[in-house]
Structure 1
Amino acid sequence: MAGIVHIFHAGRRGYRQRVHTERPKPLQQYTTEELYNRFQFGLDDINYIADLVRPQLQCRTLRSHALTVEEQVLITLRFYACGTFYEVIADSMGVHRTTVGEVVTAVSDALARLLDHFVTFPTDGQIAKVKQKFFLLGDMPNTIGVIDHTHVHIQAPRQREWEYVNRKGRHSINVQLVGDADLAITNCVVRWPGSVHDARIFRESRLFTEFQTNRPDEVILADSADPLLPWVMTPFPTANTPSQMRYNNAHGRTRCAIERLNGVLKRRFACLNYLRVEPQGACQITLACIVLHNIAVHRRVPLSDIDDPPEPLAPADDLGPPMDFPLNERLSGSAR
């Protein structure tokens, strides 16, 4: 019987021994500047992010050549930073294309769960400092936030694709963002299709409901697409007097913070210019990038000046609002 078994195994066809190739080790082989250019974060920042998501991503063993948490974070950050095809990321990181997709999904979900920790509206003890920074920025008094909407372009979804066509004829997620003078995001809504108007997203956000019920003494600056309310200040459509002109100038100088925030967010995470994923995945990736953006602001991570990401398939342009969170509310499932 032993001889028969031996002959059977000896005659097997198609059996190949698994060969594991050596993966690159970016944390060891790249300088700090090279890490910033490729991943938008330095060594200490990457280790900090890895520690945040370690409970959700840590494999119990390294069996089957499992990826470490640091490797998973690096793969995801590389995708966020350049937004190219999974195959390109796979080639540069020494893994398979399907692995990149699975890792990006897992890390994005883990980061999105941290939203309520990193995206918070100013507390009573912080409001005075926030108002002072806004006043120094543009001479606009009593301001605690600036709001705007931006579109994250996506490929045409397989279901209800018409709902995602925005006013410029492109498929997108309409994201609502509220920021402060330091360009940190204090509130977001990330769940609405691109066809939905900014004003509706704002009216149905938890931020709107909360502030309509418990009206603050401070104000949020918005553009003309949003409603004028006791706590929402919009510019005059036409400034007919010197005082109205001064108000519009102060409003514009102060509210430019949210325009800069949008620019920094999409410059640091080029993937947000175009995502080749379904809407739910796009929402999770956007939430993850929002969390990482605030981490970068709080840790004073410099924005790389190297413009090496590939061009998106279509031109990137800002269109609409971000998604909201309870003052950070979450979309059913996981995207807000």
Structure 2
Amino acid sequence: MERNTFYFLLHLIGPQLKNFPFIGREQINSTKQLLIAIYVLATPDSYRSICERFGVARSTAWFSVKRVVRALYSLRNCFIRWPNYEEAETTWTNMQRLYGFPKVLGIIDGTHINIARPKRDANSYINRKGRFSMQLQVICKHDLSFIHVFAGMPGCVHDMRVFLYSGVQQYCTPEFFPEDSHLLGDAAYSIQKNVMVPFYDNGHLTRRQKEFNRNLSSARTIIERAIGLLKGRWRYLLDKLPMTRTDLIPYYVVSCCVLHNICLLKNDAIEIPVVVPEMLHEMEPLAITNELREEGNVKRNRLMEIIANNNFQGPVPQSS
């Protein structure tokens, strides 16, 4: 993290860190609390090593990280929010220019955050690879920033079920998807008017269907880059979270997503590492009806024709 990004963060959450009461006699200032938290989230290191590096007790380091995470989580709606019309228009314009796919408001995908064996319901958190994990669903724009995140579902839960509980289905209205725009997802999601997924490859796809799938797959590399950047910068999420309380883990995960967006906002760039990708609130899931699926199929066929015609006419010139 660059120095100006750090001081921007300190200005945002410094007052909150001062107001948190300390437990015990040892007290440290807001700057040191934030330095400790950033180091912990960005470096997979033991608390013993961290305490030696910063010259603090283990409890002081742990409470400092907890305070910073709580302050960052409180800012989630400021830095991770659904785009307005102008922002959505910018995204779908850039997506069509770069990948030839029209009216893309965002790209959706899920990834597993490996965790230590939970204290409760451990078997529910075993994913298909036999590891303990928690689901993180993210939606990103063309610039790799997140417009929606949802963390907390156990690793055994299917991506589509996570989608239904995340609240995104409630967003599938003209108010949130202007001009018949949509998200791009992989085959794990169900097709509907506002979520486009590839044609199922049964070995008999037409040329135009294959073109559609290629364009969609090419555009979806953005979400893989976004997840790679998130885990590559905040490596606390990359290996295995050393936490067993599943009620606290989502706060740390979402806080890292807030930091991800803040760094992009401040043009604090790093080289995107190669990482293979795999907000807690109560919400009743909405079912994907046959009518919604049929609307999605009709729209997908229409988009397939648009993409085929654009490919026939040649690629759209890109500005230098």
For the criterion TM > 0.5, the same-fold answer is yes
2:10 aligned with 1:43 = no
- Deviation (angstroms), 1:101: 1.3
CA contact 2:232–2:272 (8 Å) conserved in 1: no
Counterpart-to-counterpart distance in 1, 2:21 and 2:156: 46
| Aligned equivalent of 1:229 | 192
Residue of structure 1 equivalent to 2:139: 178
Number of residue pairs matched by the alignment: 275
Q: Which residue of 1 aligns with 2:291?
A: none
Identity %: 27
Aligned to 1:331: 281
Kindly state the Cα deviation for residue 55 of structure 1 after the two structures are TM-superposed: 2.6
Q: CA deviation at 1:192?
A: 0.7
| Post-superposition offset of 1:295 | 0.4
Match of 1:279 in 2: 246
Q: Identify the match of residue 18 of structure 2 among 58, 71, 77.
A: 58
Equivalent residue, structure 2, for 1:267:
232
For 2:290, the equivalent position in structure 1 comes to none
Q: CA RMSD in A?
A: 2.3
Post-superposition Cα deviations, 1:169-214, rounded to whole Å, max 9, x if no partner, equal: 1111101000011000000111111111110010122121221586
CA distance in 1, matches of 2:55, 2:195: 50
Which SS does the other structure have where 2:127 is aligned?
Answer: coil
CA offsets 1:60-108 (integer angstroms, 9 cap, x no match): 9999552111111100100111122211211111111222211111111
What is the aligned counterpart of 1:292 among 259, 272, 277?
Answer: 259
In structure 2, relative to structure 1, the CA distance for the partners of 1:89 and 1:306 (3 Å cut) is farther
Distance change >3 Å, CA 245–CA 194, structure 1 → 2: same
Using the alignment, how far apart are the partners of 1:74 and 1:305 within structure 2?
23
CA distance in 1, matches of 2:21, 2:121: 42
Q: Which residue is 2:277 aligned to? A: 318
Paired residues of 2:224 and 2:276 also in contact (CA < 8 A): no
* Counterparts of 2:175 and 2:146, CA distance in 1: 21
Structure label with greater radius of gyration: 1
Distance 2:3 2:67 in 1: 21
Structure 1 residues 65 and 235 mapped into 2: Cα distance closer, same or farther (>3 Å)?
same
* Residue of structure 1 equivalent to 2:217: 252
How far apart are the structure 2 equivalents of 1:223 and 1:60?
A: 43
C-alpha distance after superposition, 1:4-39 (max 9, x if no partner): xxxxxxxxxxxxxxxxxxxxxxxxxxxxxxxxxxxx
Contact 1:222 1:233 in 2 (8 A): yes
* Bigger Cα displacement from structure 2, 171-180 vs 133-142: 133-142
TM-score by length of 1: 0.77
In the alignment, structure 1 segments of 5+ residues that lack a partner are: 1-40, 308-315, 320-324
TM-score for the superposition, normalised by structure 2:
0.80
Q: Which amino acid aligns with 1:267?
A: G
The unaligned stretches of length 5 or more in structure 2 are: 283-320
Q: How does 1:116-195 map to 2 (within 5 A)?
A: 116-195=77-156
